[in-house]
Structure 1
C-alpha cells in the first residue's frame, strides 16, 4: 500500500465530526462539494452540504447487469464499490454550449461561452477513478492540443480520494494496476488528500494523508489526531482485504491479445448479445468521444454550437460521406474494446481501462469485458492448436 503504512508522513485520523469540519471549510472557501449520496436506490454523485449526506451504513451488490443497495457496515461512509457515475461529468461536461451567434442590425454577433469559473471539491474519488482523471488529463491537456474548457474545470478542482476497502463483484482494478490502493507515488497521484476508511472498536475512522500543499492546509485546520502505526496498519489491512476479494481479473497480455485478434470470429458472438445501447461508454470514466451539433432557432435570430458526449456504439458515429464505416454491431463492439484495451497503448502509452467494472454492471445483458478477453484467449489457443 503506497504511503499509508507510515505514521510519519503527516497522516492524521478523522472521525465523522472532523470530516464535517473539512466539508464546512471547503464550502466556506467557495467550493461546491460533490460527493456520494443515496438517491432513487443508487449511490450517485451530487452536491452535498455535509457528512450527513454521505451513504452511511450502505453497501452495494454488483454483478453483470445487476446493481442493488443493501445494509453494510454500520456508520461506514465509503463501504461500497464504484458508484454508477464516474467523476468525468464534472470535468468533461456531457452537454455544453461552445458559442452562440445572435442576429443584430449589422449581421451576427458571435459570443463564445465563458469558461467555467466555479471551484469544485470532489469527495470520495476511488483509486480507479483517480487513474481515470489522470487519463483524461492526458487526453485533454497533455497530448499536444489543450481543451480550454476541460483545463479550466480541472484547474479549479480539488480531489479528496478514498482508497477502497470493499471490492464489488465486477471490480478488476487490481489486475489493471489502478486499485484498490493509490498505487502511484502520492505526490503524482492527482489527489490533494487521500482517505482510507477502517474500523477500530466498531467505529469507522478515516486515515487522512495530505498530498498537496492545499490538502495539508485543510487537514491542519480540522480537529484530528496524529496517526499511529496501528492506525496505518489497520487501514492497510482493510485495503488488502479488498484486493483479496476482487471480483474479476483481466488477462495480463490483453493488449497484445486483442491487437492480433481483430479478425477473430468471436466478435460476432459478442454482437449477437450486444444491444448497441451505449451504456458501457456512458458509464465509462475514460471514454471521451463527443460530437458537435449546430442549431438555429425557428426565427433564425440565434444559432449555437454545442458539444455532447457521443458513443462509438451509435451507427452515425463513424459516418463519413457515403455512410458509416462500422455498420455492424460486431465492428462497433470491436472498435470500443480494441481501442480501450489495445490501441490506447499506441495512442497514449497506457490502457484506457481502469478496471472499475461499471461497463459490466450496467450492461443490460451482462456482457463482461474480462470474460470476452478470456474468450479470445481460449479461442486463440484452440486455433493455434489446430495449426
Structure 2
C-alpha cells in the first residue's frame, strides 16, 4: 500500500510493448502474484498472469443496459476495454473467507486455525482503472484503513492484510463503454495526479507507436521502476506526455451517460416516490448489481460442522441487501417487497453513504447497468425521481475508441 507522505523519485519511463514483460517480471521477482486482465469464457476477467501474452490484446467490451459482449479492436491495445465483470474487490475483499476452524476436545472446542494465522497474499494489481481505484479507496474507508474511517480503531484484519500487502499499477482509462459515467462522479477517466493510492500509474498509447508511459506514485513504485533491467525503456519526451494526457481526455469526451450531481438530495427527498414501485416491478432481486459493484461490502457469517460434529468452521461470505434473509430479524424480514430492497440499495449507494463515509458509494463504473438482466439503470432512475426524462443517456452504444483511434 502506497505511502504518499514518503518522498519519492520523479523518474518516469517509456516502455515499448515488450518492456511491459520486464515490468511484470520485476513484480514477480519482488514476490508478487501479478493479477491482470485476460480472456476467459467470452469475458475479460482479472486473474493471475505471467506476461503480456496473457493480456486481452486487441479486444474491447461492448456494454449497454443488460448487455455485455466482446469484439475485436483494430489497434492491438492490451487494456482497450472498460470494466471487467468483476472488480478488484474480489482480490482484496474475497467472496468467502474462513474466519476460524475449531476441533472438539471432548469438553469443548479448541481453535486450530483462524484467518489471522496466515500471511496475506502479496498481489500486484495490474491495470486498475480510475473508477476501480476510487472504489478501492472507498473500501479502504469502509474496512477501517483510513484515519477518518468509522472503524479506524479496528480495521478488518482480512482486508487490511491484503490491502497493505498489495502493489497497485493504475491505468488511465482509454476506452469508455456506453454504461460508463465516471466523469460525472469525478472518479475518472484519468488517474489522479497524486496517484490515488496507486504505486505506479500507466498510460497506454497506441497512436504513433504502441507504448506505455509509466510514472511512480509511491516510494515502492519508484523502487520497482529502478529495479528494471538496464536499458529497459527510455525517458519520456514532451510528445509522449502530450499523447498520454490525450488518452483520458478522449475517453471523457466519449462518455454520454451521467449521474445527476444532486443525486444525494434527489434520492433522500424522494424515498416515498411512487416510482420505486415501478422499478420494483422490473427488478428480479437477483443481486447481480451488488455482486459486480466494486464498493458493495455486505457479508454474512455462517457456522457449520462436519458430519461427526468434531470440526466446526466459521465463514464470512458476500451477501446482498436484495436477498430476503438479509433484513431478517426475529419475526421475519423487514424488506419483503422487491421495491423496498431496490430502494435500500440505491438510497444507500447514492445518499446515506455520505452520512457514513462522506462520499458517494458509486464510482460510475457502470457494471450494475450492464449486468442487470432487465437493464435497470440507476442514472435513469435518479433522473425519473427528479421528474426529468433521462434523454441525456440515449447515447450510441460503446462510442469510445480513444486508446488507438480505431
Normalising by structure 1, we get a TM-score of 0.93
Q: Distance in 1 between matches of 2:88 and 2:19?
A: 24
Q: Distance in 2 between matches of 1:19 and 1:118?
A: 23
Equivalent position of 1:137 in the other structure: 140
Q: Does 1:192 align with 2:192?
A: no
Task: Please give the per-residue CA displacement for 1:117-140, whole angstroms capped at 9, x wherever unaligned.
Answer: 321000010000000000000010
Displacement after TM superposition at 1:106 (Å):
4.8
> What runs of 5+ residues in structure 2 fail to find an aligned partner?
1-8, 390-406
| 1:238-249 equivalences in 2 (<5 Å) | 238-249=247-258
> What runs of 5+ residues in structure 1 fail to find an aligned partner?
1-7, 381-387
Q: Which moved more, 1:12-21 or 1:338-347?
A: 12-21
| 1:283-302 equivalences in 2 (<5 Å) | 283-302=292-311
Q: Does 1:126 align with 2:135?
A: no
Equivalent position of 1:375 in the other structure: 384
Coordinate RMSD, CA, aligned: 1.4
| 1:231-310 equivalences in 2 (<5 Å) | 231-310=240-319
| 1:141-220 equivalences in 2 (<5 Å) | 141=144, 142-144=149-151, 145-183=154-192, 185-186=193-194, 189-201=196-208, 203-220=209-226
Q: Is the 8 A contact 2:33 2:123 kept in 1?
A: yes
Task: Please give the per-residue CA displacement for 1:5-34, whole angstroms capped at 9, x wherever unaligned.
Answer: xxx942221112111011111112211000
Equivalent position of 2:325 in the other structure: 316
Q: Distance in 1 between matches of 2:346 and 2:54?
A: 36
Q: Is the 8 A contact 1:124 1:162 kept in 2?
A: yes
**Which 4+ residue blocks in structure 1 deviate beyond 3 angstroms?**
none
- Count of residue correspondences: 370
Normalising by structure 2, we get a TM-score of 0.89
Displacement after TM superposition at 1:379 (Å):
6.3
Q: Is the 8 A contact 2:172 2:247 kept in 1?
A: no
Q: Is the 8 A contact 2:267 2:347 kept in 1?
A: yes
Query: What SS does the aligned partner of 1:34 have?
Result: strand
Equivalent position of 1:26 in the other structure: 27
Q: Distance in 1 between matches of 2:86 and 2:37?
A: 10
